[in-house]
């Protein structure tokens, strides 16, 4: 299938590694020119060089996307953008009584207000040109909140609410906004979550992973490549009628009929 996006320009945030990188690589394979971002310049430059090997133009901007300064730097380098993939690291786990106002502000800034700021900056141009795609990387916890991820649950619920309304206000201009909800995927984030279980339970990393895999009907972790393929489809010209959806990629882990 021809995705119909060759020559478009995408900004993929937090994309030197993990799910963001998977999205960037899948878009590059469809001939999309890229603006990549991450805080650490070294891994970012390496990813940029590898993706240039697929024959697309890649601009790399080292910046913290969750700060106004970082957003301004990225948006200035990005220029006109047809496809926006928002992403950033997730907030730390914890216990409800340990979180103060400042913890919530940090989580809201990173996982709610940053994607909203980027959409506010780029949606007007997409609407004016009559074509655009936005995919926000959120979490399966949007559908099935995870108790120890209260900061993440709160921030992502806010973003999900914003997208539900906004997606329906921009659809008539040929612009779609959807959210992709990862379950457990084989990235540094999964390694760090498994590391937490190792420390708490005194088991090996292999055992921690085996136990987690046993809770997933697919009996394995997802891959960044699979995640990227789903993202590239949502960003394709073929996906123009998919509007304001929250799409789970979790190997069947979240059991709902709606």
Between 89 and 132, name the residue whose CB sits nearer to ligand NAP: 89
Rule CB under 6 A: say whether 87 interacts with ligand NAP.
yes
Residue 159 CB, nearest distance to ligand NAP (Å)?
A: 11
Residue 156 CB, nearest distance to ligand NAP (Å)?
A: 9
30, 33, 64, 194: residue in contact with ligand NAP (rule CB under 6 A): 64
Query: Alpha-carbon distance 212 to 100, whole Å?
Result: 30
Rule CB under 6 A: say whether 195 interacts with ligand NAP.
no
Nearest to 175 by CA among 81, 85, 243: 243
Total Cβ atoms within 10 A of residue 98: 8
Residue 138 CB, nearest distance to ligand NAP (Å)?
A: 7
Rule CB under 6 A: say whether 178 interacts with ligand NAP.
no
One character per residue 31-50, x = contact with ligand NAP (rule: CB under 6 A): ------xxxx--x-------
Rule CB under 6 A: say whether 143 interacts with ligand NAP.
no
Residues in the site for ligand NAP, rule: CB under 6 A? 14-20, 37-40, 43, 64-66, 87-90, 137, 139-140, 182, 184-185, 187-190
């Amino acid at each position: 299938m021809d995705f119909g996006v060759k020559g478009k320009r995408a900004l993929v945030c937090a994309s030197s590694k993990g799910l963001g990188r998977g999205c960037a690589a899948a878009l590059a394979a469809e001939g999309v020119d890229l603006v990549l971002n991450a805080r650490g310049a070294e891994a970012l430059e390496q990813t940029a060089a590898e993706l240039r090997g697929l024959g697309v133009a890649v601009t790399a901007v080292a910046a913290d996307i969750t700060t106004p300064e970082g957003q301004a730097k990225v948006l200035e380098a990005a220029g006109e953008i047809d496809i926006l993939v928002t992403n950033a690291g997730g907030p730390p786990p914890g216990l409800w009584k340990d979180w103060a106002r400042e913890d919530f502000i940090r989580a809201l800034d990173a996982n709610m207000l940053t994607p909203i700021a980027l959409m506010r900056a780029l949606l007007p141009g997409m609407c004016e040109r009559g074509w655009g795609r936005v995919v926000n990387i959120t979490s399966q916890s949007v559908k099935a909140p995870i108790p120890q991820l209260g900061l993440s649950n709160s921030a992502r619920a806010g973003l999900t609410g914003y997208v539900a309304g906004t997606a329906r206000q921009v659809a008539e201009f040929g612009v779609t906004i959807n959210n992709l909800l990862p379950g457990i995927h084989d990235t540094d984030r999964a390694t760090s979550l498994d590391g937490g279980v190792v420390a708490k339970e005194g088991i090996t990393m292999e055992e921690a992973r085996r136990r987690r895999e046993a809770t997933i009907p697919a009996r394995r972790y997802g891959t960044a490549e699979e995640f990227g393929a789903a993202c590239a489809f949502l960003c394709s010209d073929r996906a123009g009628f998919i509007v304001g959806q929250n799409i789970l990629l979790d190997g069947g882990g979240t059991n709902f009929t709606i």
